[in-house]
Structure 1
Amino acid sequence: MAENAAAASGDDSLARLDRLAELAEDVIRRCRAAGASEVEVGASIDSGLNVGVRLGEVETVEHSRDRGFGVTVYFGKRKGSASTADLASDSIAKTIAQACAIAKYTEEDPYTGLADPARLASEFPDLDLWHPWCVDAAEAIRLGIAIEGAGRAYAGITNSEGASVQAGESLSVLATSAGFVGRERGTRHMLSCALIAGDEAGMQRDYWYESVRAAQDFGDPAALGRKAAERTLARLGARELSTRESPVLFAPEVARGLVGHLVSAVSGGALYRKSSFLVDHAGKSILPAFVDIVEKPRLTRAHASGNFDAEGVATAESALVRGGVLERYVLGSYSARKLGLESTGNAGGIHNLIVKTGDDDFAAMLRKLGTGLLVTEVMGQGVSIVTGDYSRGASGFWVEKGAIAYPVEGVTIASNLRDMFRGIAAIGADVDPRSHILTGSILLERMTIAGS
C-alpha cells in the first residue's frame, strides 16, 4: 500500500532507495572481490529547506541536498572504514580502496566484526515516518513572519533572534555481506522562535519550538510565537538566590536530559572502559520502585523509531528499568562482545525511551514541589558519567507554596546522579513530545543550589 500511494503522489523515494540498495550491494561484491571477509555499506540522501526570518524580514533561505556513502571492511579481525559525499563511480572506487588499505594495516581486534546474522531484522513494518512537506520558500517565509509577529506583538518584547521554518527528508540504506539490506525513509520538520524582552532591570531571552514527522501535526503556528513571548516575558525581573538546599523540579524539556545521563551511564562504551558510575549495576536498584522506563522502537510517527539499529539488528520493545531496577545495558555488537553479553539493538543509540508517569499535571507537580526551585534551563557541561558528579548552571523560577513566586537566574545546581536518581519523588504526566526520550517533569527531593 505504501508503494502504491507513493507512486500515485509522484513520490520517487522508494525508487531512490532501491537505487541506493543496488549500489550498496554492488560495492559489497567489489569489496569481497578485493579480499574482504565481511563488508558493511551505508548510503544516505538528505534534503531539506531551512528559512530564517528576523524582525519581519528574510535572513536566510537554504536548500540542502547532502549525500553520504560509507564502507567498512573486515579482513579477518582487521577493520577499515572510509566515506565519501560523492556517489560518482571514481569516488566510490577510491573509497573502497582506502577502506581496504586501512584494514590491512590496522591491528587485529578480537571483538570487531558484523552483527550476529541471527539477530538481523527480517520484518520491516511501515512505521509512518515518511511525510514530505511540500512547502516552498515563499510559504515558509510567510509562516516564519507570522510566528515571529505573533510573539513580537506582546508588550515588553523589544527584539527578536528570529523564527525558523525547516522541512527535511532523509533516505538511507544499510547493507552487509551477511545478506542484510535495510531501507529507511523519514521526514522531520521544525518551527521555532526566539525572542528578547527588556525592562529597567535588563534583558531576557527565551524561545520555543515544535518538531514533528508530519507537518499536519504542528499546532497553531501563531500559538508557538505567543508561547515564546510568554516564556521570555516571564523571565523579566529574574533574581539570584542565596546558597541553600531545596527540592528541585525539572521541567519536562530539562527532565529528559536527566534520563539521557542515565542512558549514557549504562551504554556499552562507558561500561567496558570502566568509565561509568553504574558499572556492574545490571539487576540492581538504581531508581525508586515506582519508576519504569521502556524502550519502544516501533512506535508510529515517533522521533526515533526504526525496525533495525545501525548494524541491522532487529529492534524490539524492551524494559530498561522496571520497578527501579536496571534490567539491562544499552549495547551494540562490539560493546556487547567486550562485555561478554549480546547486543540490545542499540548500535547508534536508543529508540523512543518512555518513562512511566504519574497522574499529576504541571500545576499539581508545582504543588508537590511546595517551596523550591523549578528548573527550565540548564547550562554548561558539568556532568561526570565516571563519578556521577553533577554541577550545572541553571535558571527557572522560585516556587512558594506550590505557586511560582519569581524568576531565578545565575545559580548552580549540584548533587550526584546516583543520589538524584534515588531521590526522584514524582514524575509528572506533562510529557514533552518533542524528543525520543518521553518524560514528564521530574521532582527531586533535594539538591544544593549555589547562589550569591
Structure 2
Amino acid sequence: MIEDGTARLLDVADRLMTTAKRFGADAADAAVIRSHSRSVQVRLGTVEATESSESEDLTLRVFVDGRVASVAADGGADVERLVERAIAMARVSPVDPFASLADAGLLATDDLDLDLFDDTDVAADRLREDALAAEDAARAVDGVTNSGGASASAGFAGLVLVTSGGFSGARRRSGFSRSVSVLAGEGTGMQRDYDFDSRIHFSDLEEPEAIGRQAGERAVRRLNPRSLPTGRRTIVFDPRVARGFVGHLVSALNGASIARGTSFLKDRMGRAVLPAGIDVRDEPLLARRAASRPFDGEGVRGASLSLVEDGVLASWLLDTATARELGLQTNGRAMRSGGGVSPGATNVVMTQGAESPDDLLAAAEGGIYVTELIGSGANLVTGDYSRGASGFLIEGGQLGGPVSELTIAGHLSEMFMALRPANDADERYQIVAPTLHLGEMTVAGR
C-alpha cells in the first residue's frame, strides 16, 4: 500500500461501513486488503517463471439483530450490492450471542510505527540474478546432482480497517525472500534439502550464495541414510523442526479451540504445561519483526501476552467473540480471513536455555537429531503425536550418520513437560524457538 493510496482505501472501507449502517445493520466493520508481489523462479540455470500480481479485496462484516454475516469481494465490486448481500445473509443466520465489535475502550487510538515497511523496489532482473546465484552456489557443492529450483520475491501487503465503533486505521508490511532446493546423490538414493530466508527489509536478507551453499551442504549430508531398530531413544529437534513443534502449543492455546472444547489443553489453565523457568510470550509490537502489527483485525492494539509463565499456562489467544464466549476480554489477537474474524498468534517467543546445542547433543548419546518431520500426525484434540522423521544419529556427543524412514511417537503433554531449550533461537521467524531436547520417545524403525 503506497501512502498516497491510503486515503482512497480508507474512503472505500468507510463507504462500505456507512452503507451497511444505512441499509439496516446495527453495527459493521469493513476492511480493504491490498497486495502486490513480484517473483522469479529458476531451475538448472534457466528462468522458469516470472510473475507479478496485484490485488485489492474488500471484506465486510455486519451485525443485524444479534446475527452476523461476512462477505468478501474484489475491489471492483459494487458497494451497495455487496452490502445488500451481507444484510440478507445476516437476517437468515442464527443468532450469535457472542458476536460483536470490540469495545471502544480497547481500540488503538494513535499511529504506531513498527518499521514494517521497506519501499525498496526490487526489479525482476535483480530477482532473477539472486535466484540464479542461490542455485549456482547450491549446485557447486560437491555431491549435488540436481535442482528443485530457486526463487526470489518481493512485495507488500496492506490493510485498512474502519468500524462503526469508531476505529479507522491502516497498516502495511513489506516482504522479501530467497529460497533454493536441491538434490544430492543418484537414483533411488537421492536426498533433497533446502534453505531460505524471508525478511521485512531487503537489506536484512541473507546473501543468495550463503543460502545456496547451506542448501547444498544439507542435501549432501543426508546421503546414504540408514534406518534404526524400533525402541526408545532421546530426541533432539533442530530449530527448523522446533518452530513447528512450538506451533502445536500455540495452536492448542487458540481460544476458538478452547471454546469448542477441541484442545487437549482446554482444562489446563493455571497448571504446568512446560518445565518451570520457561515462558512463552506473544509479542505483536516488536519492531521490524515478522508478525508485528499496530492493531489487530478488530482495531484492538494487543500488548505483550504471557501464554505460558514459568511453565504455567497463563492465557488463551482471544478475539472479541471468543473472549465473550469464554467470559473473558479480548487480548487483541483477532485475525481477518475471508471476511471473518478468528483469534491467532503474532510473534511467539520461547525462553532460551543456558545450554548450547552441543550441550544438548552431549546429553543425548545414541539419540536422534531430527531435521525433518513428515505428515500431520499431531492431534491437538487428544494430544497424540506420531510423525515420520529423518535426521542424524547422535554419536560421541555430536552428529553422526544420517537416519531416515523412522516414526517418532509420544504425547504432546509429556513432550512439552520434558523439553530443554538450547540458547540458539533465531529471531527471524514468527515463532522464535531454539534447539529442543525432548527426552525419550518411541522410535519405530525397521
Matches within 5 A, 1:318-337: 318-337=305-324
Whole-angstrom CA distance in 1 between matches of 2:345 and 2:13:
25
Aligned length: 438
Residue 127 (structure 2) aligned to one of 140, 143, 146: 140
Query: Is residue 396 of structure 1 aligned with residue 423 of structure 2?
Result: no
Is the CA contact (8 Å cut-off) linking 1:252 and 1:442 kept in structure 2? yes
Corresponding residue for residue 264 of structure 1 = 251
Identify the match of residue 157 of structure 1 among 137, 144, 148: 144
Is residue 370 from structure 1 mapped to residue 365 from structure 2 by the alignment? yes
The residue aligned with 1:237 is 224
- The alpha-carbon deviation at position 154 of structure 1 amounts to 1.4
How much has 1:393 moved relative to structure 2?
Answer: 0.7
Query: CA–CA distance in 2 between the matches of 1:269 and 1:280?
Result: 14
- Can you list the C-alpha shifts for 1:14-55, whole angstroms capped at 9, x where unaligned? 221221111111221111110101001010110011100000
Q: Which residue of 1 aligns with 2:5?
A: 16
Deviations 1:269-307 (A, max 9, x none): 111111111112111111100211122211111000012
SS at match of 1:258: helix
Q: Distance in 2 between matches of 1:163 and 1:78?
A: 48
Q: 1:201 touches 1:237 (CA, 8 Å); kept in 2?
A: no
Relative distance call for 1:443 and 1:150 in structure 2 (3 A) is same
The question of 1:286 aligning with 2:280 is answered no
Counterpart AA for 2:433: T
Matched, 1:359 2:360: no
| 1:349-392 C-alpha deviation (Å, 9 max, x unpaired) | 11111111013333333223233111111111111111100001
Residue 159 of structure 1 aligns to which amino acid in structure 2?
Answer: N
Cα deviation 1:174-211 (Å, max 9, x = unaligned): 11101101210110111000000114771000000001
Name which of 442, 447, 450 aligns with 2:441. Answer: 447
Give 1:435's aligned residue: 429
Question: Could you tell me how far apart the structure 2 residues matched to 1:91 and 1:366 are?
Answer: 61
Per the alignment, residue 48 of structure 2 pairs with 59
| 1:373-388 alignment, distance < 5 Å | 373-388=368-383
Give the distance between the partners of 2:401 and 2:219, measured in 1 at CA: 13
CA distance in 2, matches of 1:60, 1:447: 44
Name the CA distance, whole Å, in 2 between partners of 1:420 and 1:159: 37
**TM-score, reference length from structure 2:** 0.96
How far apart in 2 are the matches of 1:402 and 1:124? 51
2:282 alignment partner, one of 280, 295, 308: 295
- For 1:5, the equivalent position in structure 2 comes to none
User: Partner residue of 2:212?
Assistant: 225
| Residue identity in the other structure for 1:77 | G
Instruction: Establish whether residue 315 from structure 1 lines up as the match of residue 308 from structure 2.
Output: no
CA distance in 1, matches of 2:365, 2:91: 63
Equivalent residue for 1:347? 334
Residue 256 of structure 1: how far off its partner (Å): 1.2
**Aligned-residue CA RMSD (Å):** 1.3
Select which of 74, 79, 89 maps to 2:63. Answer: 74
Q: Which runs of 4+ in 1 moved over 3 A?
A: none
Higher mean Cα deviation, 207-216 or 433-442?
433-442
Instruction: Give 2:242's match in structure 1, choosing from 216, 237, 255.
Output: 255
Residue aligned with 1:369, SS: coil
Q: Which moved more, 1:305-314 or 1:12-21?
A: 12-21
Contact residue 347 and residue 431 of structure 2 kept, 8 A: yes
Tell whether the 8 Å contact from 2:17 to 2:28 is kept in structure 1 after alignment: yes
Q: Identify unmatched segments of 5+ residues in structure 1.
A: 1-11
2:262 maps to which of 270, 275, 278: 275
Percent of pairs with identical residues: 38
Matched residue, 1:6: none
Query: Which 10-residue stretch deviates more, 307-316 or 37-46?
Result: 307-316
3-state SS, counterpart of residue 446 of structure 1? strand
C-alpha distance in structure 2 between counterparts of 1:132 and 1:243, whole Å? 53
AA in 1 matched with 2:47: V
Supply the AA of the counterpart residue of 1:146: A
Shifted more, 354-363 versus 412-421: the winner is: 354-363
Q: Does 1:117 align with 2:112?
A: no
Q: Distance in 2 between matches of 1:277 and 1:135?
A: 45
Q: Secondary structure at the match of 1:123?
A: coil
Pairing 1:46–2:35 present: yes
1:33 aligns with 2:22: yes
Q: 1:100 matched to which residue of 2? A: 87
SS at match of 1:21: helix
Q: Which runs of 5+ in 2 are unaligned?
A: 336-343
- 8 Å CA contact 1:17–1:171 kept in 2: the answer is no
Separation (CA, whole Å) in 2 of partners of 1:196 and 1:390? 29
Paired residue type of 2:347: N
The answer to whether the 8 A contact 2:20-2:83 is kept is yes
- Counterpart-to-counterpart distance in 1, 2:188 and 2:50: 36
